[in-house]
Structures are given as C-alpha cells and as structure tokens.
Amino acid sequence: MKTLVFGSTGQVASELKARDDVIALDRAQADLSDPAACAAAIMAQRPDVVINAAAYTAVDRAEDEPALAHTINAEAPGAMARACAELGIPFLHISTDYVFDGTGDTPWSVDDAIAPLGVYGETKAAGEHAVRAAGGAHTILRTSWVFSAHGTNFVKTMLRLSKTRDALGVVNDQIGGPTPASGIADALLIMARAMVDGHAGGTYHYAGAPAVSWECFARETFAAAGRSIDVTGIPTSQYPTPAARPLNSRLDCTLLETEFGITPPDWKTDLAKIVSELLL
C-alpha cells in the first residue's frame, strides 16, 4: 500500500514516515499554504491512499493569522480530498477536539454538533466540511492532547520547565484524553488499509484513556521522569490565553472500536516510554 503523507516534522507525521511504504512530503515538497500544489503532488505521486498529517496548530497565533490558518486547515485539505476523489483513492484527515465548545462533562460523540471557540477550531471544522464536500472516500479522525518524543507538546514542555523550576501551576479544569502520536499513526494505517479494501470511512474519534486534567497529566509526567516538582492545580481563569480552550475535551471512541477494533490507548504506558526516550 503506497501511502502519501502530508507532513514530515509534526508528531504524527514523524511516526508515519518511519513506516514501510510511506512517502512523507515536507513543506518544501508540498506547502499547505498553496492548496493547488498539494493537489498536484497527489496527482504526481498516484498513491494508493493519502493521509493529511499536517496542519496549522498554533492555537493562539491563529487568532492573529486567521486567513493563513484557514488556507492550511481548510482549503488545503479540501484540495487534497478533491484530488483523491478524482483518482478514486481514500483520503484520511486528522481533526481535533477543538471543533467542540467544551461544555458539559460527557464525552463528545462523532454526531454531536460542532461549535468551535476560536479561529483554530473554526478552521479545522471548515476543513472537515471541505473534505466531506469533495465527495470521495474519506476518513476524518478527531483526536486530542497529542504527545510524543517529536515536535512541540505538553510533555516536552513540562520536562523542559522542570529543569529550572521546582514548582508549577497547571490548569486543572480542562479535561481530556492524552493521546500518543504513535497510536494515532497506527490507527490511521489500520483505517487506510481497510479503506483500500473497500471500507467507506467516515468520522471517528481517537483519544487516550483515562481522561484527566492537565494537572494530573503533569504529575504523571514528572513521576515518569523521577522529578520532584510541586504541582499546584489552577483554574483556566488564572491562565489566560489569546484563544479560549475547551474545558471538556473528552472524546467518545466507541465507533472506532466497533468498526475497526481500535481501542483507546493507555496513555500512561506510552508516557513512560516517551519520557524514557526523551531523557536518554
């Protein structure tokens, strides 16, 4: 299965490009700010399946760069999906819990109404719409709180801060499922193979279990690293950011398990492995 991946340095893309028969395109080869170039790359490569693992993910900066975020997160995936539809090949696209408004405490179902709080979520929701509108076989995989040994993420930030500080305040009223990038990569490839074999695809959720607060995630990170850090839980109101964050990022992953047999990963197991790798 010849798999074309958009993205090379991001967390999920870094995991995907290490797999067999995967061609990963970096920004020089396919810049998502040029949607037509992305479509042309698909036409040139003629793969069996395409995975878009690239996105504009700077949540706060997106508030100041809405046009660029929209081009990368909405127009580019739409162009990719239309190219795949023309070739008759499956297209898989990564989306986010930020398409929801974060209210309540019930895990979000794939069928729940979306209501993004900021530009990042709005552009990712627009990307979902563009992918569906292309009319081809597609899968949209929403995920949350991604972490790995690659790129920029919460785990790496906590480990960096713990080198110079012995106490930290961490938000305790945002709840979600930390999700290892390696698990997302595995899930995407399982779904890609199924779609090549005829599965129709759809919209699915994939997130780690159990759901926790950022405070809890920080404590587990420091425990895995063997570092004694005094962690104090604080409300979101005491940590203002340009873009609002959803308080409830829980995702219901039932449909993914039912259709593909993919279960939510135990993030604590993956956290221990990733922290060990980062501390080598």
As given in the structure block, the two tokens for residue 219 are: 């404590």
Cis-peptide, bond into residue 210, ω within 30° of zero? yes
Closest CA to 244 of 75, 100, 41, 80: 100
CA dist., res. 195 & res. 234, Å (int): 44
Question: Any catalytic annotation for residue 56?
Answer: no
The catalytic position among 56, 120, 204, 206 is 120
Q: What is the DSSP string of the chain?
A: --EEEE-SSSHHHHHHTTSTTEEEE-TTT--TT-HHHHHHHHHHH--SEEEE------TTGGGT-HHHHHIIIIIHHHHHHHHHHHHT--EEEEEEGGGS---SSSPBPTTSPP--SSHHHHHHHHHHHHHHHT-SSEEEEEE-SEE-SSSS-HHHHHHHHTTT-SEEEEE-S-EE--EEHHHHHHHHHHHHHHHHTT--EEEEE---BS-EEHHHHHHHHHHHHT---EEEEE-GGGS--SS---SEE-B--HHHHHHH-PPPPBHHHHHHHHHHHHT-
First vs last C-alpha separation in the chain: 34
Residues marked as catalytic: 120
